Structures are given as C-alpha cells and as structure tokens.
C-alpha cells in the first residue's frame, strides 16, 4: 500500500514536544489520494496527514479480488497503521472511503479515535439521489441516474459519466486533476461495479460505532444527499453529528474547502480536548 505523509507528528511547544492528531485519509472509488490535494493541505497546521492509495488504485499494488472489498481495504489500512506505528488516528473517508472508514471502525474499534465521513452513505435511497440530479440537470440526467441505479453496467456507466458526473461537483474537475489519476484496471472496475450493485453496510450495524463521528455532505450532493447522511447519523447515535455544507456537491472539500477545513479543525480540537 502506497502512503504519503504531510506534516510532523511532534511539534516544539516550549520545553516539550507536543503531539498533533494524526488524520488518515481514505479516498473514493476510481481515484486516489491526489484528489485530496491541495484542498485539504491547509489542515497540516492542525494535524499530521497520512494519505493512502487503496489496493487497485493510484500507486498501490493492484492486489486481488479479496483486496477489493470494504473489509479487505479496511483491514489493509489497519495493517498499515500497525506497521508504521500510527495509533489512535482520526480516519477521514470520502465517498467509498467513508464506507471503508466505517467498516474499519467496526472491525478495529481500538484503533480509530474518531471518524470524519465525507459525502458517503451506507444505504442510499434511490429517489433522493434521482431528485437531486433532476434539480441539477433536468429529466435527462434523472433518467440516466435511474438507469445506472437499476441496471448498473458498463453501458449505464458511460451514460452516467456523460450526463450525471459533471453535475456531481460544483467546482469542475481540472485537466490537471484528471491527468494525475492512474486509471483502475478492468478487473478492479468490475469489482467496484459489483460492490455498488451489492448490498451496502446495513444501517443496523452503525450503532456499534462508539467513537466521535462527524458526517459531512453537500446540500447538492446527488450521491450522498443530506437525507441519506441524516439516516447514517441517526443510526450511529448520539456520538455522531451532521454538517451540510451549502454550495457543495460530491466532494465538499473541493467545492467549499474553507468551510470544510474549518469543520474538521473544530472536530480535531474537540477530539484533543476530549483526550486531555
């Protein structure tokens, strides 16, 4: 597993070295850790940032089918943390990465000190998603989204990418951002399609998550609408809270980086205070 580190874990504070929080960042499907940069980089003033590339993505080894599951990816992140001595990190997961972070917290509760779940849901409600696409792109986009949800395939993906994908974010993807990505292989893509077609994490499992959890989504995110994010928060319980960022789609940290980073800073301060 490839990983990159930005910032120090220990900083001078008078006669002492003060430990900063460590944030492990897990990217979404088909992209890699570069999608977080430069948007999240300002958080290096508040935490040490550890970026990972999931198996089959970016600069990590492709791995095999056993690696391309929520459990496989979550266990790999736990193994990485153990191998390089990262203890009690805040885990930030975006989109698919959010589902992996939740699975990580369920399987390795002693490892995870807190969760930041970004633009991610565990049991998406199709009509909510389709309604957002209709608001953003009219009936043609809504029909393409419905077809992709009900008949996911290479054909549905092509139509979705053409009609819906540009609507998922408020800040268009730049050519440089897209050029930095390493396309996933056909085998990994097939596994990702199968994963999205299959049953997600059940909301009934979420009540077992005990660590502080911040759930963030955009008010115009068609992939993780505020209603779905609210369902996740309710399932986790009193240790979770929801923030919906105005003017943001699927990628709050890209669409509204200042607002997003301030939410994370506040969460990190609360986490540090709780441990003191």
Please check whether residue 269 lies inside any domain of the structure.
yes
Task: State whether 226 and 90 are in the same domain.
Answer: yes
Task: State whether 115 and 137 are in the same domain.
Answer: no
pLDDT digits (tens, 9 = 90+) for 12-52: 999 999 999 999 999 999 999 999 999 999 999 999 999 99
Please check whether residue 151 lies inside any domain of the structure.
yes
Distance CA 22, CA 195 (A): 29
E strand map for the chain: 3-6, 10-13, 16-19, 22-26, 48-52, 90-94, 114-118, 213-218, 240-245
44, 220, 217, 145: CA torsion to nearest 10: -110
Task: State whether 137 and 262 are in the same domain.
Answer: no
Of the listed ranges 92-106, 130-144, 147-161, 206-220, the least confidently predicted one is 147-161
Count Cβ neighbours within 10 Å for each residue of 44-79 and write b for 16 or more, e otherwise: eebbbbbbbbbbbbbebeebeeebbbbebbbbbbbe
Please check whether residue 175 lies inside any domain of the structure.
no
Task: State whether 20 and 150 are in the same domain.
Answer: no
pLDDT digits (tens, 9 = 90+) for 45-94: 999 999 999 999 999 999 999 999 999 999 999 999 999 999 999 999 99
182 vs 193, more confident: 182
Task: State whether 13 and 96 are in the same domain.
Answer: yes
What's the pLDDT at 272? 74
Domain residues for the domain of 153 are 125-168
> What's the whole-model pTM score?
0.94
- Of 142, 168, 194, the domain-final residue: 168
Please check whether residue 69 lies inside any domain of the structure.
yes
196 pLDDT tier (thresholds 50, 70, 90): confident
Task: State whether 74 and 35 are in the same domain.
Answer: yes
- Contact between 261 and 214 (Cβ < 8 Å): no
Please check whether residue 173 lies inside any domain of the structure.
no
pLDDT digits (tens, 9 = 90+) for 2-11: 999 999 999 9
pLDDT digits (tens, 9 = 90+) for 100-145: 999 999 999 999 999 999 999 898 899 999 999 999 999 999 999 9
Please check whether residue 52 lies inside any domain of the structure.
yes
Please check whether residue 259 lies inside any domain of the structure.
yes
Which candidate, 1, 208, 25, 191, places its Cα nearest to that of 107? Answer: 208
What's the pLDDT at 211? 97
Report how many domains make up the chain: 2
Task: State whether 212 and 267 are in the same domain.
Answer: yes
What's the pLDDT at 22? 97
Alpha helices in 22-112, H assignment, sequence order? 70-84, 96-107
Residue 201 has pLDDT above 60, yes or no: no
Task: State whether 199 and 153 are in the same domain.
Answer: no
Task: State whether 36 and 24 are in the same domain.
Answer: yes
Please check whether residue 17 lies inside any domain of the structure.
yes
CATH code where residue 32 lies: 3.40.50.1820
pLDDT digits (tens, 9 = 90+) for 223-232: 999 999 999 9
Task: State whether 115 and 66 are in the same domain.
Answer: yes
What's the pLDDT at 112? 98
Task: State whether 48 and 162 are in the same domain.
Answer: no
Task: State whether 28 and 159 are in the same domain.
Answer: no
């Amino acid at each position: 597993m490839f990983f990159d580190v930005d910032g120090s874990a220990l900083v001078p504070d008078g006669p002492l070295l003060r430990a900063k929080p460590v944030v492990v960042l897990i990217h979404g499907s088909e992209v890699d850790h570069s999608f977080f940069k430069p948007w999240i980089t300002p958080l290096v003033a508040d935490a040490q940032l550890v970026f990972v590339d999931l198996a089959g993505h970016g600069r990590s080894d492709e791995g095999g089918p056993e690696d391309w599951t929520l459990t496989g990816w979550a266990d790999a992140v736990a193994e990485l943390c153990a191998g390089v001595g990262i203890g009690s990190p805040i885990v930030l997961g975006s989109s698919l990465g959010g589902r992996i972070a939740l699975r990580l917290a369920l399987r390795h509760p002693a490892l995870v000190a807190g969760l930041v779940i970004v633009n991610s849901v565990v049991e998406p409600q199709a009509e909510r998603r389709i309604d957002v696409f209709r608001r953003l792109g009219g009936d043609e986009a809504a029909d393409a989204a419905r077809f992709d949800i009900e008949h996911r395939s290479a054909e549905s993906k092509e139509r979705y990418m053409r009609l819906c994908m540009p609507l998922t974010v408020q800040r268009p993807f730049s050519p440089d951002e897209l050029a930095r990505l390493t396309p996933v292989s056909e085998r990994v893509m097939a596994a990702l399609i199968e994963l999205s077609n299959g049953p997600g994490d059940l909301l009934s499992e979420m009540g077992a998550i005990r660590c502080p959890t911040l759930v963030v989504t955009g008010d115009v995110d068609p992939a993780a609408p505020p209603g779905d994010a609210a369902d996740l928060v309710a399932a986790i319980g009193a240790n979770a809270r929801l923030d919906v960022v105005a003017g943001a789609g699927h990628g709050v940290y890209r669409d509204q980086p200042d607002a997003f980073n301030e939410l994370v800073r506040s969460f990190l301060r609360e986490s540090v205070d709780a441990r003191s």
